[in-house]
Amino acid sequence: MIEKIDWNEIRKNLEEHKDTVMEVVINLSKFILRQRSEKNLQLAQDFLDSARQNLEGYFFHYEKKNFSQGIFNLTLASEKLVKAYALAIGVIKKEELRKEVAHKSPLVYQITVEKEPFKSLFSFINLLNPKFTNNINLKDIISNKNFQLEMLRAREEDIKKFLDKCENFINILNENRVIKNFFSQEEIKNVLDFEGGMELFKYTFLLMVSSILLFPHYFTSNYPDSEEIKQKEYNENLGIVKVSPRLYKILQSCHENLEEYILRGKND
């Protein structure tokens, strides 16, 4: 269970591998600074601006009870926010977004964990606590038709439980200072903006979760010839429609955090 993280175990493992931790963090910091460019940050901002229009579109259609178009706009917003995140930290190129990712936004995270230094980071997270794993293959999830059908017709209570666990994980990270307190202020200061990095991790994690829930709805919510679920089935009784106001708020928060991150990058 996500909520049963053994922080004592993490502290013990941190102490045993402190040099490796610092090496991974330094490499990550250097990578982001090296890959950060004005061109990428501007393109990321363009994606954010477009995502904002889709968030507004969701709200408009939801209020009009035009739920299929509301969900479609929410899906587009999620996709563009994921792409903005990837461009902002320099983990993916524009050409990869077009050719490899397209409208399957969770693939961004799979591509991320396959590249250094993120591959080492996730491997080390798994070393610190075996309850975390870097072996989840999002490519398999995306190509799994049964998974997509399950997501399309997921019940409100099941989606809420999933979101509760994910947000609980983030709250634990916020409240528990074991990782931050493990390093001296000087060590943190010399590596990167620790608080900003933790905030970015928090929101990109929630963004990944949202994209997994929403990406199966890209075609079904916008085209009338879907075999899996019809547009008219996007009504007040469909699970994703019921939880969409909550997803809307999550995406709004992600948008604000990414915009702040991009602004800091432009000012550095």
**Closest C-alpha among 124, 153, 145, 170 to residue 3:** 170
Is the omega angle on the peptide bond into residue 117 within 30 degrees of 0, that is, cis?
Answer: yes
Please tell me the predicted confidence (pLDDT) of residue 135.
Answer: 46
Query: Are 45 and 210 in contact, with CB atoms under 8 Å apart?
Result: no
User: In this structure, how many other beta carbons lie within 10 angstroms of the beta carbon of residue 265?
Assistant: 20
Please tell me the predicted confidence (pLDDT) of residue 144.
Answer: 84
Please tell me the predicted confidence (pLDDT) of residue 18.
Answer: 66
User: In this structure, how many other beta carbons lie within 10 angstroms of the beta carbon of residue 117?
Assistant: 19
Please tell me the predicted confidence (pLDDT) of residue 113.
Answer: 74
Please tell me the predicted confidence (pLDDT) of residue 198.
Answer: 60
87 contact partners, CB below 8 Å, separation of at least 6: 40, 41, 43, 44, 47, 94, 97
Please tell me the predicted confidence (pLDDT) of residue 9.
Answer: 67
Please tell me the predicted confidence (pLDDT) of residue 134.
Answer: 44
Terminal C-alpha separation, the chain: 40
For the full predicted model, state whether its pTM sits above 0.85: no
* Mean pLDDT per 10-residue interval, the chain, length 268 residues: 54 68 66 72 93 98 97 96 87 80 83 73 61 57 84 95 83 58 58 57 83 93 92 96 97 92 75
Degrees (nearest 5) of the Cα angle 258, 35, 196?
A: 35
